[in-house]
Structure formats: C-alpha cells, structure tokens
Amino acid sequence: MPEGPVNSDRGVSKGLRVGVVGGSIAGCAAAIELQRAGCEVTIFERSAGSLKDRGAGIGIPFALVELLQARDLFDVDMAIVPIKLRDFVTRVRGKDRLLLKQGFVIAATSWDELYRNLRQRVPDEIYRQGCEVKALRGTADGVVVELAAGQDATFDLVVCADGYTSTGRRRLFPDQGLRYAGYIMWRGLLDEAQLSDNTPYEGINIFAVSPLGHLIAYLVPGKKGETQPGKRRLNWGWYVNTAHADLAASLTDRNGKTHATSLPAGSVAEKRVDRLREMAREFMPRFVSEAIDLTEQPFIQAIFDLHTPNYRKGNVLLLGDASSVARPHAAAGATKALYSAVALAQSLKTQPSLESALTLWNEEQSREGRRLVSLSQRLGKALQDPKQDWPSMDEQAMRLWWKGVIGDEEWYVMTDDE
C-alpha cells in the first residue's frame, strides 16, 4: 500500500484521508482527534439506529479524565462517581467478612455517559450510520473500503475500531481469534434507591471472592448522569468459572438461540436467573446477594482474550478491542482505546512520513497491549482460582497474596492504607 502524503513541517496529518470503521467509543475518539489534527475523516458505523448501552459501568483513571477534559473530548462536568477504596470481602460460614481494604483511585462512569461525551463532538456529516464494511482492499491509490450496500471509498489510512469481533482484524490476521478464558460474567445494573443500604458501596469498589469466582460492584452515574446519593446506579459483575464444554449452554437464550459471545438483558431464561440468585445467596455477602436479587434483567458476557502480533498491516490499523482484548480485570478496555486514539493523532502530527508515524504508533501500542493482556490474564488466574482458600486468609495473608499477583505492575491500586 502507498505511504501517503509527507509534510515534514506539520507531520503528515493535514489533508490525510482517513476512514474509521466502527462508531463506538474507540471510533469516535479516533475521529475527533484525527479531524482536529487536520485529517479528512469518515466514520462507518454498521448500526442504523442510536447505539445502546453496551457495557454498563466503566472505570477509568482520573489522569485520563483530566487529559481528555483538557483536550475537550470530555465535558468538564462529565458525570463520574469517584472511587477511593477497594474492599475484598467474602462469606464465611454464613457471615460476611472483610479480608482486605486497599486504596483504589478510579473514576467510575457508564458506557452511555462516555459515548455521549464523545459522540456529541463528532460532526454528523462524517458519521455514516447503517454502513457495514464488507472488506478492505489495498490499491495503488490507497485503501479501498467496500461496503455491504455496494459503494466503495478510498482512503490513505483506515483505522479499524470495530470491537473484539473486528472485520479489520479478520482481514489482517485471519488466524487470530478470540480465546475463551474459562469463565463467563453475569452482569447487572440497578438503581441505587432500590438498595436497603448503600453504605458498603459508598466510594468503594467491592471485590467479593468466592469458590465460584469473584464479583465486582461499584456505583456509577444514574441514567441521566445523576451523581447525587440515591440517584446513582449500582453496577455489578460476577465472574463464574464455566467449562468450555458448557459455554454454548451458557450463551443460549430463553428461545433456544445460541449467541456467539453474550446474552443481552432480557434474553436469559428465568430458571437460569433463579439459579444465579440461589448461588448468590449461598456464596456472596448479604448486601451483594440483595443487589443480585433486585436486578430485574441480569445478562451474560463470555470472557475472552486476544493479542494480535501487530496493530497494523500496511495502512490499515487496529485500535481498541479490535487490536487486543484484555479480560476486564485490568479495567483497561476503554482506557487503552482512548490513549491509543490520542497517541495516533500525535504521531501523525509530529512524524515526517506516514510510514514513520504508523511504525512508531504500532510499536508503542503493541507493547502496551501485550502488557495489559498479560496483566489481565494473571489477575484472572488468581481471582478465579477454585483452589484458593479465601476463608483461611487474614489481612496479612491477603497483602502477601496480592503482592504475588501484581508484582511491580503499575495499576490503579495506590496504597494499602485506608
């Protein structure tokens, strides 16, 4: 594929024709940054209607929030719920027990709040909805985007930000597929006002550990961005070890249809939801099982991971979950996509050629992607270990355990003090 324009005075971004495949968080962030860098951008989003809340709660570092507010990607009053502590809790012989309290500084928000902040900054005229990309093809003039509806468009650069089932990744690296991690995650979202007591969650990210796997729970903004106590929502997710042989059954909905990666809210059979609630009452702290009982439509997400050998091939790039899929334990999906979008625009603005810009970006992002996938795998192995005897752990044992898991990694935990 051609290298594209060269402009050493201002990098290569000005006038660069860029096609972005996928109009969700990663795609919108890339489009905003690239357009502001002087690129001519077009987004192709296959969904014809408005995108729905796809991920419930999201945690991102405060440093990233501040960076993106300074770059005007986020509103300065964006709805977030600060989290400053993380409690490891378990249920021992019918009683709730605190195992460890850690400093854990993070900004909790929701998928819809994050998407709204980004989408409102993307001009409607460059956001083409209902446009499914069928294939990508390199020519002497650039990269041709072939659409299912029959139209073609040619660009100097194509950024595939189309999620973990990426068309772009299948085209670039057809042998790279999702790898099942050995567990699913039950997820739920409910109004804080439904809880009999919100005290366990106030400013705290709950990690409830059990023989079946661990659960996370934390408060996020309300449906309209409310952050006042009593008007927020509780986001929870319970990772439950599930053999690969049982995965298809776990992803079969109430009508008998088996889905590839997840079951949306409202599609899970009632008997399976009833069983979830029974397991919660047996293995989870009481305040957690109450939240699961109160959740009307819990849904299921299978957990996978993936890391491609490179994030580019020629002038086609993979960004966000299209490039690497880290298990949610590292809380890095949205974070990595947002940082990658900023880094791409910066590289194109400062490097003297398109080849040097893409090479630099690819090396940096691939290295970070490998680190996050490895970290999330290590966290998942430790937190989902069915042989871990949580009831026998005291605070000192938990601190030693955690140090053995995290090592010298830089992550969200800031201190082990209250």
Query: Is residue 372 in some structural domain?
Result: yes
Residue pair 3/354 in contact by the 8 Å Cβ criterion: yes
Q: Are residues 72 and 194 in the same domain?
A: yes
At 1 the pLDDT is: 35
Q: Which residue range(s) make up the domain with 267?
A: 59-110+180-304+395-415
Q: Are residues 228 and 271 in the same domain?
A: yes
Q: Is the pLDDT of residue 137 over 60?
A: yes
At 171 the pLDDT is: 87
Tokens found for residue 72: 């005007």
Q: Are residues 139 and 94 in the same domain?
A: no
Q: Are residues 106 and 188 in the same domain?
A: yes
At 11 the pLDDT is: 85
Q: How far apart are CA 155 and CA 153, in angstroms?
A: 7
Residue pair 117/107 in contact by the 8 Å Cβ criterion: no
Q: Are residues 266 and 290 in the same domain?
A: yes
Read off the pLDDT of residues 36-94 as tens digits, 9 standing for 90 and up.
Answer: 999 999 999 998 877 766 557 899 999 999 999 999 999 999 999 999 999 999 999 88
| Nearest in space to 13 (alpha carbons), one of 33, 42, 43 | 33
Q: Are residues 150 and 76 in the same domain?
A: no
At 4 the pLDDT is: 43
CATH number, residue 68: 3.30.9.60
Q: Is the pLDDT of residue 418 over 80?
A: no
Query: Is residue 203 in some structural domain?
Result: yes
Query: Is residue 122 in some structural domain?
Result: no
Q: Are residues 260 and 343 in the same domain?
A: no
Query: Is residue 246 in some structural domain?
Result: yes
Percent of the chain with pLDDT over 90: 85
At 56 the pLDDT is: 79
CATH number, residue 38: 3.50.50.60
Residue pair 104/413 in contact by the 8 Å Cβ criterion: yes
Q: Are residues 237 and 140 in the same domain?
A: no
Q: Are residues 409 and 345 in the same domain?
A: no
Read off the pLDDT of residues 241-272 as tens digits, 9 standing for 90 and up.
Answer: 999 999 999 999 999 999 999 999 999 999 99
At 51 the pLDDT is: 73
At 413 the pLDDT is: 63
Q: Are residues 192 and 245 in the same domain?
A: yes
Read off the pLDDT of residues 305-323 as tens digits, 9 standing for 90 and up.
Answer: 999 989 999 999 999 999 9
- Exposed (0-12), middle (13-18) or buried (19+): which is 196, by Cβ within 10 Å? exposed
Q: How far apart are CA 305 and CA 298, in angstroms?
A: 23
Mean pLDDT taken over the chain: 92
Query: Is residue 1 in some structural domain?
Result: no
Residue 151 pLDDT class (50, 70, 90 cuts): confident
At 2 the pLDDT is: 36
Q: Calculate mean pLDDT across residues 5-34.
A: 86
188 vs 413 pLDDT, higher one:
188
Read off the pLDDT of residues 392-417 as tens digits, 9 standing for 90 and up.
Answer: 999 999 999 999 999 888 666 655 54
Residue 350 pLDDT class (50, 70, 90 cuts): very high
Residue pair 59/104 in contact by the 8 Å Cβ criterion: no
Q: Are residues 360 and 321 in the same domain?
A: yes
Query: Is residue 116 in some structural domain?
Result: no
Q: Calculate mean pLDDT across residues 132-157.
A: 92
Tokens found for residue 287: 């305040």
Number of independent structural domains in the chain? 2
Residue pair 46/131 in contact by the 8 Å Cβ criterion: yes
Q: Which residue has the tokens 């309290």?
A: 101
Q: Which residues pair with 191 in a beta bridge?
A: 233
Query: Is residue 7 in some structural domain?
Result: no
Q: Which residues pair with 208 in a beta bridge?
A: 89, 215
Q: Are residues 253 and 355 in the same domain?
A: no
